[in-house]
């Protein structure tokens, strides 16, 4: 199949060369469609739910009596994962009844037979979610501890699940996964904690927050932003240059189109997916934005193929913003067409020429399925040249392969060159820190693997990651949430339950590598309260309460339906400790979390949080959330939009130093322009909390690439400003504060 698809592309590329732009656009659509037919909508792809009945029925017809039940069991799982829950329940219930009568089900393996009760209970639990959280969705749905507004009105699914989990636990009281899910089921009915059998109770005090953060209500249903799809990406930025922040979301399912919501400047959003042309583009797990051609308009890179292993041979899409409200796919003419499974990339000017380059981290799953990473240098004419091997960043070979899940760039050693950190899900090799040592004679950046010498060579499984300055000392630190179950088989749920109960577990915990300023890092996760299970897929950072310190939102989960674990949020307490504020803030969503974006969408001076929800399987959809920040003007802030002239126009990689107060009582805040973490994109316009300071003494900018510095003094807080490289004065942007509750009653339930 690989050979066929490659030959298809080669022949197609010969035809494309002399095509018009409209014809090229059609051809890239054709390539994506062909990839979908070859790799997505086939029975071998467990995620697609494609052709379940004909596929399994044909197997049943040719199977002997002994093998039929095993095929039916697999069909029931496929039905559950594709959203056909009642049909799955019928098969699992049939097996359950047989097992009750005869103590065994002929033809099932020991593992399948032992899991009948759990699969049936899980199916009922999912039925309850579908009937209540999806079909009668409210802003409180599935947020633990579940409040009254989130209780199930149709109790059948959870009630049946409770019966089964109590039965399972009576036989196996040590089963932490079933104990956790039993407590969740009681929560959905409003019977937690009082009706949970004492021996199976997870006490409600384990959910207590460590700081009284105000509650952030989910207003996505109210604004029509509760897109009900699967796992995907999120970008919040200004795509039409009106100064107001818009939202783009994706879903990884190949036929799910991108959605563009334009800020209407009146307290709402307009779905511009069709008129922008983005509704013709689909199937990407993640996205990142940048003005790659320095034309003043924000473009999008859509990443495809993640998790698909040998079936992940999809092209990414570079979507050029035409500046007239529409986008075009310019992947082919830009020289970015390749076929590798990926979901992660980072824009940066790696050779300091004032133009953004692109590093893509690809997933190599075995020595027979190698997908080297890619580094594309911007040729300043709308095209890119791939130089990964010459730059020393290909990474994966047959002898040493890496399943890359996160890449970020930042200048950690303040030498003026952007470095790269690579996070992999491999549990037997370390993540990789690549130091940019400067350019060779051909202006190609050269990188050195400094993982060992920098002190970041821990071997652990991880996913998302980012560079940030968590303690405002002027040095970029590294945060890497863990993503692994350790020695426990099955879902991560049992580890989460163990951690809540204070019991031992073997799950991977997060690393926070503090930059020591000498080229080395030290893991301080334990000292600051972050040495915890994170199991984060998407994640990002921002300032919840405008104190000037960056906080964390972790979007959690895994593909299994039993991985029902809350998203987690940590408040940064002055760079000394991180406090769990998940419950206080109302963030404990137990549906699968993916891309996260911090952004002040309503221009009220604090950062709201947009989260893409939904899992990998076709039947694991869930509406996205937008958490409205309630802090408003309780503390001071500044919004800074940088525009490069000698440096790249997006100013990505530029460093900002903010001085507050005098020498005796003052402090500094440091930021580097980027879109945040590796899964979910914040605006490239910086929002900086200033605490009690109403005037900024100094803003110092070191512009990326050009290394020129700029100093502005006595800037008033609580305003939106634009700084252009080389200009002595800043511009004040007169943006309106928006009322998201204006057009209709706030926080209303939304029915699908």
How high is the pLDDT of residue 667?
Answer: 94
Residue appearing with tokens 């509750």: 741
Exposure letters 600-633 (e unless 16+ CB within 10 A, then b) = bbbbbbbbbbbbbbbbbbbbbbbbbbbbbbbbee
How far apart (Å, rounded) are the C-alpha atoms in residues 135 and 737?
33
284 pLDDT above the threshold of 80 = yes
637 pLDDT above the threshold of 90 = yes
How far apart (Å, rounded) are the C-alpha atoms in residues 566 and 625?
14
Query: Model confidence over 101-157: pLDDT tens digits?
Result: 999 999 999 999 999 999 999 999 999 999 988 877 777 788 999 988 889 999 999
Query: Model confidence over 187-217: pLDDT tens digits?
Result: 999 999 999 999 999 999 999 999 999 999 9
Cα-based angle 110, 115, 117 (whole degrees, multiple of 5) = 130
How far apart (Å, rounded) are the C-alpha atoms in residues 556 and 144?
13
**Which residue, among 1, 44, 79, has the nearest Cα to 619 in the 3D structure?**
79
Cβ neighbours for 680, distance < 8 A, ≥ 6 positions apart: 233, 234, 286, 538, 539, 540, 555, 594, 595, 596, 597, 612
> Residue 238 has which token pair?
């200004």
13 pLDDT above the threshold of 70 = no
Average pLDDT value over all residues in the chain: 92
Q: Please compute the mean of the pLDDT values over residues 348-356 and round it to a whole number.
A: 98
Tell me the backbone φ, ψ of residue 672, rounded to 5 degrees: -125, 135
> Residue 143 has which token pair?
């947020």
> Residue 431 has which token pair?
């993540």
397-to-2, 363, 364 alpha-carbon distances in Å = 19, 11, 9
Edge-to-edge strand ranges of the sheet holding 608-613: 593-599, 608-613, 625-627
How high is the pLDDT of residue 8?
Answer: 47
How high is the pLDDT of residue 663?
Answer: 66
3-to-12, 42, 276, 313 alpha-carbon distances in Å = 14, 17, 35, 11
DSSP 238: -
282 pLDDT above the threshold of 90 = no
How high is the pLDDT of residue 194?
Answer: 97
11 pLDDT above the threshold of 60 = no
The secondary structure of the chain in percent helix, strand, coil, rounded to multiples of 5, reads: 25, 25, 50
Confidence label for 21 from pLDDT (cuts 50, 70 and 90): low
How far apart (Å, rounded) are the C-alpha atoms in residues 559 and 537?
11
Confidence label for 19 from pLDDT (cuts 50, 70 and 90): low
DSSP 191: -
Confidence label for 17 from pLDDT (cuts 50, 70 and 90): low
How far apart (Å, rounded) are the C-alpha atoms in residues 515 and 68?
58
- Three-state SS across 285-343? CEEEEECCCCCCCCEEEEECECCCHHHCCCCCEEEEECCCCCEEECHHHHCCCCCCCEE
Length of the chain measured in residues: 752
By CB neighbour count within 10 A (0-12 exposed, 13-18 middle, 19+ buried), where does 111 fall? Answer: exposed
> Residue 273 has which token pair?
């997916």
| List of domains in the chain | 52-207 (1.25.40), 220-627 (2.130.10.10), 636-733 (2.60.40.1110)
Higher per-residue confidence, 22 vs 87: 87
Query: Within 493-649, where are the H helices?
Result: 493-500, 525-528, 582-585
518 pLDDT above the threshold of 70 = yes
Residue appearing with tokens 């002027």: 474
How high is the pLDDT of residue 7?
Answer: 41
Q: Please compute the mean of the pLDDT values over residues 5-10 and round it to a whole number.
A: 44
259-to-273, 274, 345, 595 alpha-carbon distances in Å = 5, 8, 20, 14
14 pLDDT above the threshold of 60 = no
**Which residue, among 445, 339, 442, 335, has the nearest Cα to 384 in the 3D structure?**
335
40 pLDDT above the threshold of 70 = yes
Distance between alpha carbon 402 and the CA centroid of its chain, in Å?
A: 20
Confidence label for 485 from pLDDT (cuts 50, 70 and 90): low
- % of the chain at pLDDT higher than 70: 94
9 pLDDT above the threshold of 60 = no
How high is the pLDDT of residue 486?
Answer: 62
Residue appearing with tokens 């956790």: 180
Confidence label for 33 from pLDDT (cuts 50, 70 and 90): confident
Q: Please compute the mean of the pLDDT values over residues 562-580 and round it to a whole number.
A: 96
Under the phi-then-psi rule, with left for phi > 0, alpha for psi from -120 to 50, and beta for the rest, what region is 467? beta
Q: Which of 2-6, 154-158, 547-551, 747-751 has the lowest mean pLDDT?
A: 747-751
How high is the pLDDT of residue 742?
Answer: 64
How high is the pLDDT of residue 283?
Answer: 87
249 pLDDT above the threshold of 50 = yes
Q: At what angle do helices 85-102 and 116-128 cross, to 10 degrees?
A: 150
How far apart (Å, rounded) are the C-alpha atoms in residues 467 and 513?
10
Q: Please compute the mean of the pLDDT values over residues 715-728 and round it to a whole number.
A: 96
Confidence label for 488 from pLDDT (cuts 50, 70 and 90): low
How far apart (Å, rounded) are the C-alpha atoms in residues 15 and 113?
55
> Residue 295 has which token pair?
């034309």
Q: Please compute the mean of the pLDDT values over residues 565-583 and round it to a whole number.
A: 98
267 pLDDT above the threshold of 90 = yes
- 145 upstream amide cis, omega within 30 of 0: yes
Edge-to-edge strand ranges of the sheet holding 551-556: 536-542, 551-556, 568-573, 577-580
Higher per-residue confidence, 399 vs 26: 399
How far apart (Å, rounded) are the C-alpha atoms in residues 535 and 555?
8
694 pLDDT above the threshold of 50 = yes
308 in Cβ contact with 286 (< 8 Å): no
Residue appearing with tokens 């990926």: 342
16 pLDDT above the threshold of 70 = no
How far apart (Å, rounded) are the C-alpha atoms in residues 246 and 221?
17
- % of the chain at pLDDT higher than 90: 82
Q: Please compute the mean of the pLDDT values over residues 602-614 and round it to a whole number.
A: 97
207 in Cβ contact with 588 (< 8 Å): yes
> Residue 282 has which token pair?
């689909």
Tell me the backbone φ, ψ of residue 28, rounded to 5 degrees: -70, -35
């Amino acid at each position: 199949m690989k050979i066929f698809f490659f030959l298809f592309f080669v022949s197609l590329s010969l035809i494309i060369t002399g095509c018009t732009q409209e014809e090229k656009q059609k051809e890239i659509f054709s390539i994506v469609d062909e990839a979908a037919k070859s790799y997505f909508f086939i029975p071998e792809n467990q995620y697609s739910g494609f052709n379940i009945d004909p596929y399994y029925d044909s197997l049943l017809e040719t199977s002997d009596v002994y093998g039929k039940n095993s095929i039916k069991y697999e069909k029931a799982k496929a039905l559950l994962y594709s959203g056909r829950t009642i049909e799955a329940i019928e098969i699992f219930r049939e097996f359950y009844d047989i097992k009750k009568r005869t103590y065994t089900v002929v033809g099932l393996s020991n593992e399948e037979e032992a899991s009948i009760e759990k699969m049936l209970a899980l199916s009922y639990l999912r039925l309850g979610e579908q009937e209540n959280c999806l079909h009668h969705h409210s802003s409180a749905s599935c947020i633990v501890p579940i409040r009254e507004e989130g209780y199930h009105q149709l109790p059948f699914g959870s009630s049946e699940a409770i019966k089964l989990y109590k039965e399972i636990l009576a036989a196996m009281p040590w089963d932490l996964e079933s104990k956790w899910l039993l407590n969740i089921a009681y929560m959905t009915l409003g019977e937690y904690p009082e009706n949970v059998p004492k021996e199976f109770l997870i006490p409600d005090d384990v959910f207590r927050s460590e700081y009284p953060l105000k509650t952030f209500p989910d207003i996505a249903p109210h604004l029509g932003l509760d897109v009900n799809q699967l796992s995907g990406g999120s970008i919040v930025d200004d795509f039409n240059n009106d100064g107001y922040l818009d939202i783009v979301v994706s879903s990884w399912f190949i036929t799910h189109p991108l959605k563009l919501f334009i800020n209407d400047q009146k307290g709402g959003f307009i779905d511009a997916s069709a008129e922008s042309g983005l509704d013709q583009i689909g199937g990407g797990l993640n996205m990142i934005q940048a003005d790659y051609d320095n034309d003043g308009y924000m473009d999008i890179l859509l990443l495809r193929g993640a998790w698909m292993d040998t079936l992940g041979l999809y092209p990414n899409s570079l979507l050029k913003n035409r500046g007239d409200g529409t986008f075009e796919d310019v992947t082919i003419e830009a020289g970015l067409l390749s076929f590798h499974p990926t979901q992660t990339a980072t824009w940066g000017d790696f050779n300091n020429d004032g133009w953004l380059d692109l590093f893509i981290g690809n997933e190599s799953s075995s020595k027979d399925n190698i997908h080297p990473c890619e580094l594309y240098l911007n040729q300043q004419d709308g095209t890119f040249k791939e130089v990964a091997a010459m730059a020393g960043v290909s990474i994966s070979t047959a002898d040493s392969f890496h399943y890359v899940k996160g890449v970020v760039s930042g200048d950690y050693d303040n030498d003026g060159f952007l470095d790269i950190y690579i996070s992999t899900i491999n549990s037997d090799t370390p993540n990789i820190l690549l130091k940019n040592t400067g350019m060779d004679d051909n202006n190609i950046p050269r990188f050195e693997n400094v993982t060992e010498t920098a002190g970041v060579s821990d071997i652990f499984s991880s996913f998302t990651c980012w560079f940030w300055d968590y303690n405002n000392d002027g040095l970029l630190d590294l945060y890497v949430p863990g993503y692994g179950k350790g020695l426990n088989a099955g879902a991560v749920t049992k580890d989460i339950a163990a951690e809540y109960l204070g019991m031992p577990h073997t799950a991977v915990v997060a690393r926070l590598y503090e930059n020591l300023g000498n080229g080395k890092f030290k893991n301080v996760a334990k000292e600051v309260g972050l040495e915890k299970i994170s199991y984060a897929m998407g994640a990002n950072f921002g300032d919840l309460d405008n104190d000037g310190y960056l906080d964390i939102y972790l979007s959690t989960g895994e593909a299994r339906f039993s991985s029902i674990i809350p998203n987690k949020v940590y408040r940064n307490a002055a760079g000394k400790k991180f406090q769990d504020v998940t419950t206080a803030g109302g963030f404990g969503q137990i549906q699968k979390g993916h891309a996260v974006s911090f952004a002040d969408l309503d221009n009220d001076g604090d950062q709201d949080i947009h989260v893409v929800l939904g899992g990998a399987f076709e039947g694991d959809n869930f509406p996205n959330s937008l958490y409205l920040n309630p802090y408003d003007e309780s503390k001071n802030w500044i919004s800074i939009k940088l525009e490069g002239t000698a440096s790249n126009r997006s100013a990505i990689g530029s460093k900002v130093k903010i001085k507050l107060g005098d020498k005796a009582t003052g402090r500094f805040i440091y930021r580097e322009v980027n879109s945040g973490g590796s899964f979910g994109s914040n605006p490239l316009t910086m929002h900086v909390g200033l605490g009690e300071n109403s005037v900024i003494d100094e803003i110092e900018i070191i512009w990326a690439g050009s290394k020129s510095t700029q100093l502005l003094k006595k800037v008033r807080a609580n305003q939106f400003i634009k700084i252009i490289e080389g200009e002595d004065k800043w511009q004040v942007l007169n943006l309106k504060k928006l009322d998201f509750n204006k057009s209709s009653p706030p926080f209303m339930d939304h029915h699908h």
